[in-house]
Structure 1
Amino acid sequence: MDVRQLSYFVAVYEQGSISAAARQCCITQPSLSTAIRQLEQELGVILFTRLPKGVSPTDDADKLYGHAGRLISQVNSIKASFVQPVKKVQFKLGLIRALGVERMSQLLREFSLLVDGLELHLVEPTEQCDARIITAAQLNAGEVFEPIWHDSYMLAIPPASPLMLKSSIALADFENLALIKRTPCDAWNSLYPELGRRNIKPDIRADIQTIEYALGLVSAGIGCALVPDFYNLNQRSDVLLKNIDELALQRTIGLAYRRTNDTQPLKILIQLCLHTVNIAPTSLQFTPGDTD
């Protein structure tokens, strides 16, 4: 027997399925079945009872499992003792909130895979860092800005709101409208002054920071709120999204960095961001605590 056979055995034992173990071990199901049969023949025992769905370990399999686990652990320990440690590469990335957890997770995952030994520190965009993912309005003098995503804003309303029957929202509809103010928010900074110029006065019911709290108040019927048009909001039954006419409420999010910073991790991140440009905002999600 060899370690490879034992590792296949452990996978089948833990998964309770030949097909699931094959996927875990990245081999074909027939190859794994052959390895298990060879192991059974060598030991002179039956290790698994085949069931209509999956397999069930025998008493001999229970006995072998403990030995196999210890042996595989020892082999992995021997291999690890000869592996040269990868030099850590620290990188501080400043992030605003409400970036969309799905798209940010994908970007950071790819970044981590491409930079060996990356030790990534996510910090507030106001802290000293190697690069920042921010809105165009937050760009500092001397920074280069590479656009990544373009987001639009909509009005989130309670399902019982009279506005639910309208196909879109006019600025005049904000007169005396129960509204949740959310700051900081680029869309609010554009909408509220425009309402003032038109002498339109909404009924401000709350002043909060996070999207999650804003949506909670909308769901409770307290008022309406401006939110980015993230895909998963369209799946909610307690909140409706409406387009706003007469005013384009949008933001551009991008990577900001100083031109003098030419480290290899930053070059890789720039290329990833350039490759990511124009991903549709409908593929995004927000996470509790997000602000923008």
Structure 2
Amino acid sequence: MDTRFLESVIIVAEQGSVAAAARQQGLTAAAISQRLKTLETELGVVLFRRNGKTVQPTAECSRLLPHARKMVGEAALLAGSLDGESLSGILRIGAISTVMTSLLPLTLKHLRKTAPLLVPEIYPGTSVSLHDRISRQELDVIVAIAPPFERSKSLEARNLRSEPLMLMTPSSITPQDVTDLPSVARIFAHMPYIRYDPSSWGGRLAEQFLARHAIETRLFCTIDSQETMARMVHEGLGVSLVPGWMQVYDTGLDIHWHRVAGDEFNRNIDLVYPGVSPKSRLIDAFCQAIIDIHKRLSSGTSTSAGLHGSGDPDCSDVSKD
């Protein structure tokens, strides 16, 4: 059985489209369809059923997929052991939007120089969806928030960044106005609250902080886009409580950042990847590149004191999550 055909089955099932799988594998849709037909004849089952422009895996196909992934992975491991020095091939990278708009473009620019034969495939998503996809072996490496549970033992993780919880305010509220928890509570009492969606792992930290200190808020809206939240604060619509993410874009927003919580409310951004992978050299190259870029940017980030010491990011730059 040709493992390339099994790989086509996996990609069609993930993408829900023969055309999308053809683009990903650099083949024609007819070639992918022929591969599927050959496997169906060989196995004596129907693998997909058409539903308009998409295809849905049959029950037989769903039972086949775990075994197909294992066979394709073992074949790739065998090939990788014979070509241990290669830094070529496709690397499927998942990242949260904070990373997509800040670290990732510079990381890919660096990799284009150091590993020009590495072909990145970029998949944006929430931390929840990205962890789910890498657990199903649909991605090779992700950059996402550390989950509030223990990861699968088949996965490894390296911490990239630890982000303190910050109060984001209009510039009319100065550092002198945010000196202790009572002053934070007064700000929330007088300003509408732009809430970081508590269904996200990062948003939970803000909710836990407010609950622990019994701080009441006047809710303006709930949203899961930190760039949009920052722009709302800039327009004077309220204040927000978010992790201090990496700033690399000068957007000219007129806002101030104030650190209000200790390290127990930090949001940790991790690199997550399989402990054993045929693409281990590509994963290592990507991880080292993004770590190097992060260190370079961090060394140029200005800081100022907050309730819990130094660490406030410069307030002129924003990205989103």
TM-score exceeds 0.5? yes
Q: Does 1:259 align with 2:271?
A: no
Paired letter, 1:260: V
Please tell me the root mean square deviation across aligned C-alpha atoms, in Å: 3.4
User: Computing the radius of gyration over CA atoms, which structure comes out larger, 1 or 2?
Assistant: 1
Residue-pair matches, total: 203
State how 1:14-163 maps to structure 2 within 5 Å.
89-99=89-99, 101-123=101-123, 124=125, 125=130, 126-127=132-133, 128-137=138-147, 140-142=151-153, 143-161=155-173
Q: Does 1:209 align with 2:221?
A: no
Q: Is the 8 A contact 2:233 2:255 kept in 1?
A: yes
Matches within 5 A, 1:162-181: 165-168=176-179, 170=181, 171-173=184-186, 175-176=188-189, 177-181=191-195
Query: Given the superposition, is the C-alpha separation of residues 212 and 277 from structure 1 closer, same or farther in structure 2, using an over 3 Å criterion?
Result: closer
Equivalent residue for 2:254? 238
| Per-residue deviation, residues 36-69 of structure 1 (Å, max 9, x unmatched) | xxxxxxxxxxxxxxxxxxxxxxxxxxxxxxxxxx
Distance 2:120 2:249 in 1: 30
**Amino acid in the other structure paired with 1:239:** I
Whether the aligned pair in 1 keeps the contact of 2:158 and 2:271 (CA below 8 Å) is yes
Aligned-residue offset at 1:91? 1.3
Equivalent residues of 1:229, 1:281 under 8 A apart: no
How much has 1:92 moved relative to structure 2?
Answer: 0.7
The more displaced of 207-216 and 112-121 is 112-121
**Cα separation, 2, equivalents of 1:256 and 1:178:** 37
Identical aligned residues as a percent: 13
Contact 1:154 1:229 in 2 (8 A): no
Change (3 A) 1:250 1:256: same
- Is the 8 Å Cα contact of residues 94 and 132 (structure 1) preserved in structure 2? yes
CA-to-partner distance for each residue in 1:193-235, whole Å, 9 max, x for gaps? 3422443211111111111211121122111012425446898
